[in-house]
Amino acid sequence: MNLPLITVPRRTAVCCLATILLLGVSASRAAAQVKANPGNAPAAPQPDDPRVIVIRVDAPLRSGSTLVGKAALAEILTGREVNGEWLWIPDAKGWIKQSDVVPLDRAMIHFTAQIEQNPTSRAYFERGAARISLGDYEKAVADFSKAIERDPKNLPALNDRGTTYRRLGESEKAKADFDKVISAGTRHPAAYTNRGLAWLDLGNIEQAMVDLHVALELDEKYAPAWEASGAAREAMGHTAKAIDDYRIAVELDPSFALAWNNRAWLLATTPDGSLRNGRQAVEFATKACELTGYQKADVLDTLAAALAETGQFNQAVRRAKEAVAKADEHHKPGIEARLKLYETGKPYRQPASR
């Protein structure tokens, strides 16, 4: 089965694919018109945790009768107001139907119930996607594997298992899954971008650039391929070209937090003084923090480095401490080492050989 694929919003260096035919949805479907303007009624109170998870592909987000966006399957959103059947999503500046989401703390109950009712490849794929959003990567791999067992042609499950393997540091397994997706005839930039990133993980920059070139030939406006190209050029030591690739990525997708972050990191920390720009680094790192709600350790770490580059060491120390508090054990030592620099009034510089 040849499955048309679409991309979903992403905040990490992977590209997830959601299937259209597998889920029985048309990519060009027209969303239902809003029967009433959701903005006129008083807001109902919200629970303590306002987060919800999307349970359908391309759930429409509307403001009045205008479609302002689409929420991806398993995307986590924060709702603030309820008006009848609608939930207001401030970050998207739109309303989503409550029937298209469930409270985040009931996500596994919902998706598991779907499996118990009908244990199809689709059902396991959906729960796997939800597990990725919840950060439960090992169980996500298990769900995608069950989806593939039930339908070996479920290419989105193969792709998303690959992206999950990458998150787990199992890049050989990831590349093997991306190989299968591409060998099945998929001509989508996300598939080649993902395999390019796997090649990059494995240290084969030349092959990574080959795949990323194909991705951009397929769609020169595909922002994730530009971001991945920036990462590859950074690994090659081509800092100016990497900064430019990240610039293109955010111009194509202004909500692309990872590309904003990576661009800011280079502008703040490159040993090449002709490329450093502390003012822009602070601006771009702040943008990345805003997009991620000041909740990601690596993004706060970048903001701290940018602030230190501009001499704002007290602020740099504050942000670095926030980053340490949110960091995992693998990344915490590096952030703590940079924090010590800021406490002594010194900015951080990447090694010149990088």
pLDDT computed for residue 16 by the predictor: 55
* Cα separation, 321 vs 305, whole angstroms: 12
Collapsing DSSP to helix, strand or coil, 53 comes out as strand
**How far apart, in whole angstroms, are the C-alpha atoms of residue 211 and residue 149?**
28
Q: What amino acid is encoded at 253 in this protein?
A: D
Percentage of residues of the chain with pLDDT beyond 70: 86
Domain formed by 1-25+43-166, architecture: Alpha Horseshoe (1.25)
Instruction: Give residue 8's pLDDT.
Output: 29
Residue 36: the pLDDT is 31
The average pLDDT across 197-214 equals 98
Q: pLDDT digit string (tens) for 66-87? A: 999 999 999 999 998 999 999 9
pLDDT digits (tens, 9 = 90+) for 293-317: 898 999 999 999 999 999 999 999 9
Query: What pLDDT, on the 0 to 100 scale, is given for residue 48?
Result: 73
Q: Residue 14's pLDDT is what? A: 55
44 Cβ partners below 8 Å, 6+ apart? Answer: 81, 82, 83
Q: Are 41 and 83 in contact (CB under 8 A)?
A: yes
Q: Which CATH architecture has domain 256-354?
A: Alpha Horseshoe (1.25)
CB contact at 8 A, 54 and 72: yes
CA distance 126 to 44: 30
For the chain, residues classed under CATH 1.25.40.10 are 1-25+43-166, 187-253
| Res 1: pLDDT | 30
Instruction: Please count the CA atoms within 13 angstroms of the CA of 13 that sit on its side-chain side.
Output: 25
CATH topology of domain 187-253: 1.25.40
**Does position 12 have pLDDT exceeding 50, yes or no?**
no
Strand 59-63 to strand 101-103: parallel, antiparallel, or no bridges (unpaired)?
Answer: unpaired
